[in-house]
């Protein structure tokens, strides 16, 4: 599985993403150079970036056919029908994107909290990756696959899958282990 920053992203955020994917799903991750071409997705009226347009661009990336390609960004994302999103993913597909812009306490008018940012990052990374593994939203509001439309809902859930979701996620991740092993041979 490949992890790609879009623009500048703090190393600690990337490390958190890689660690939670390894811990929760047993996924080995390879960090690849950042995608620096993202201004095309900027919407000046919203002062935000279009998540679908960024996903479309990722679909043309040379790693689009890798087992999974997870993008992480500081850019504030939206989709046309929502004022913002924490991330977006292809259900059962290869591509996902997570924004940490609104996971920062500063965004909500509070002092920065690095620990909280890392926990929230892990949750959203697992959530969007879970979608790529075919998981839909879970009714258990403490499960990482529960829908979060505001930061309170992000904070209510744990950075872990419920038992049912974990079985499905680990099963889907394991089914592709062979491809992942093959990819590990590809030098970055
Ligand atoms: Zn979701
Ligand atoms: Zn669940």
**pLDDT tens-place string over residues 120-147:** 999 999 999 999 999 999 999 999 999 9
Burial class (CB in 10 A: 0-12, 13-18, 19+), 39: exposed
Write out the catalytic residue numbers.
128
Q: So what's the pLDDT on residue 65?
A: 85
Q: How far is the CA of 142 from the centre of ligand 2 (A)?
A: 8
Number of residues assigned to the chain = 188
Q: So what's the pLDDT on residue 183?
A: 57
Q: Model-level pTM?
A: 0.92
Angle of CA points 19, 138, 67, to nearest 5°: 45
Q: Of the ligands numbered here, which is closest to the C-alpha atom of 140?
A: 2
Q: 160 in helix, strand or coil? A: coil
Q: So what's the pLDDT on residue 139?
A: 97
What CATH number should be reported for the domain whose range is 2-178?
3.40.390.10
Q: So what's the pLDDT on residue 188?
A: 41
Q: How far is the CA of 20 from the centre of ligand 1 (A)?
A: 17
Low-confidence ranges of the chain (pLDDT < 70): 175-188
Q: How far is the CA of 145 from the centre of ligand 1 (A)?
A: 7
Q: So what's the pLDDT on residue 182?
A: 56
């Amino acid at each position: 599985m490949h992890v790609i920053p879009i623009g500048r992203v703090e190393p600690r955020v990337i490390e958190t993403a890689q660690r939670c994917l390894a811990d929760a799903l047993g996924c080995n991750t390879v960090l690849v150079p950042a995608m620096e071409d993202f201004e095309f997705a900027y919407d000046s009226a919203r002062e935000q970036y279009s998540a679908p347009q960024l996903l479309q661009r990722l679909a043309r990336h040379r790693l689009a056919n890798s087992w999974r390609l997870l993008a992480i960004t500081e850019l504030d994302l939206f989709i046309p029908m929502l004022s913002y999103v924490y991330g977006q993913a292809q259900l059962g597909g290869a591509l996902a994107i997570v924004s940490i812009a609104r996971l920062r306490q500063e965004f909500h008018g509070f002092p920065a909290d690095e620990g909280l940012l890392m926990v929230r990052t892990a949750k959203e990374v697992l959530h969007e990756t879970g979608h790529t593994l075919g998981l839909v939203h879970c009714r258990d509001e403490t499960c990482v696959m529960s829908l979060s439309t505001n930061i309170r809902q992000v904070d209510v859930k744990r950075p872990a899958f419920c038992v049912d979701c974990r079985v499905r996620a680990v099963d889907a991740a394991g089914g592709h282990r062979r491809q992942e092993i093959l990819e590990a041979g590809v030098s970055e």
